[in-house]
Structure 1
């Protein structure tokens, strides 16, 4: 691991600990010598990190310290690049543009010597052949964020169309389809709708009667899905 990455990971490790962590434990965690840990700690302190402690006692990061958001490790840069590529190839036009703009902004303000890492990434998102929607997903994503009900005209596999009022809670982007998880007032239960089968939709202007976080948790329990880590 490059030293710049190790220093960042060291800060992140200390942020998750409330009690002083001994140098030997840190050396074991990062697979380096105790002397290297001592040098790293001094370097971080010299750069302004509020670390208390000393050799033989342990180290603790004082509360309130936040790592600048653009101190990415090499792995994190690659994750951002790959993620933005996947979004750009699988999402609606608005989200695709947002992904490209976000990556450009991040790359532009990376520290000197790091900006080329995004272009030199050895990862590439493959082609995605998702079904084409007849409606724009951006307003649906907005309804999810704002916790608002929507009306949809939906065509099932047999071509039968129904009209429903739903509470949209999650959009899942799969390789070939996109699924909208929602509480369906017509069926009085949770359902997943293929977005390419939504013929039309409109915002109702009403808020959910319950918070989306609670609905998502309930839906995950019913589907037997674990919480994301």
Structure 2
């Protein structure tokens, strides 16, 4: 492995941790000796990487560090191109424009051969049925999620009943035929999902959530995983009974 690739892997590993991580763990994750790891940390610091910490205490990469133009593999290029094309065609207009703009910026810093791979990619996203968005713009929903703001919505369920809810939106899920807003519902005092096209009105409050978005996401994911585990367990029991 080249030294440049090794340093890049180290930066990516540091980025995956919010709290200080020990040198031993970083060395194991990047496949180098502890001595080499310390040299690589010093090399990154010399290049301007804001890494704080020291041996025995651990290291953390401070937010805001921007990597210089990087070399991508052909598979990485294809993944970026295909993902950007999907977002450009299937997400909301603002996010689609952002995907196209990001792809142009990435192509501008690539060497000629890889830039050609972006421009002449043979991977395409097939046509799909239009996804109804409703009266609320997805960009407004994404903004409320980013700012961790409570929102008041009027929502029509599948039976046609309309209720007013105060929710804490923390995720937006893109399905092939629907967009779901995931949030904590104060009315139900539980996690709920809301189809974006069934939201009749969407008013953003200046009040923040009572819990951080990352905390809500972890709680919801844990709940989902527990339900999936229960479903698998019940399925196994039924199969044993049938057998």
* TM-score with structure 1 setting the length: 0.73
Residue in 2 that maps onto 1:62: 40
Comparing 119-128 and 97-106, the one that deviates more:
119-128
Which position in structure 2 is the counterpart of 1:18? 27
Equivalence for 1:102:
102
Give the C-alpha shift of residue 179 in structure 1. Answer: 0.7
**Alignment match, 2:87:** 87
Q: Provide the aligned C-alpha RMSD in A.
A: 2.6
How far, CA to CA, are the matches of 1:13 and 1:87 in structure 2? 27
Does structure 1 retain, via aligned residues, the 8 Å contact 2:69–2:109? no
- Partners in 1 of 2:80 and 2:10 — Cα distance? 24
**1:130–1:175 contact (8 Å) kept in structure 2:** no
Q: 1:151-186: per-residue Cα shift (whole Å, max 9, x none)?
A: 111111111111111000100001111111000011
Distance 2:196 2:138 in 1: 8
1:199 CA drift (Å): 1.1
Kept after mapping to 1: 8 A contact 2:153/2:165 = yes
Runs (5+) with no aligned partner, structure 2: 14-25, 50-66, 227-243
Aligned to 1:190: 191
Using the TM superposition, give the Cα deviation of residue 14 of structure 1 relative to its aligned residue in structure 2, in angstroms.
6.4
Unaligned runs of 5+ in 1: 1-5, 23-51, 54-58
Counterparts of 1:18 and 1:156, CA distance in 2: 52
Query: 1:198 and 1:75, CA in 2 relative to 1: closer, same or farther beyond 3 A?
Result: same
Deviation of residue 128 (structure 1)? Answer: 2.8
Q: How many residues align?
A: 187
The 2-side partners of 1:122 and 1:173 are apart by 24
> Is the contact between residue 14 and residue 61 of structure 1 (CA under 8 Å) also seen in structure 2?
no
* Partner residue in 1 for 2:173: 172
Deviation at 1:218, TM superposition (A): 0.3
* CA spacing shift, 1:74–1:190, aligned 2, 3 Å: same
CA distance in 1: counterparts of 2:84 and 2:162, whole angstroms: 35
Corresponding position of 2:121: 121
Structure 2 counterpart of 1:201: 202
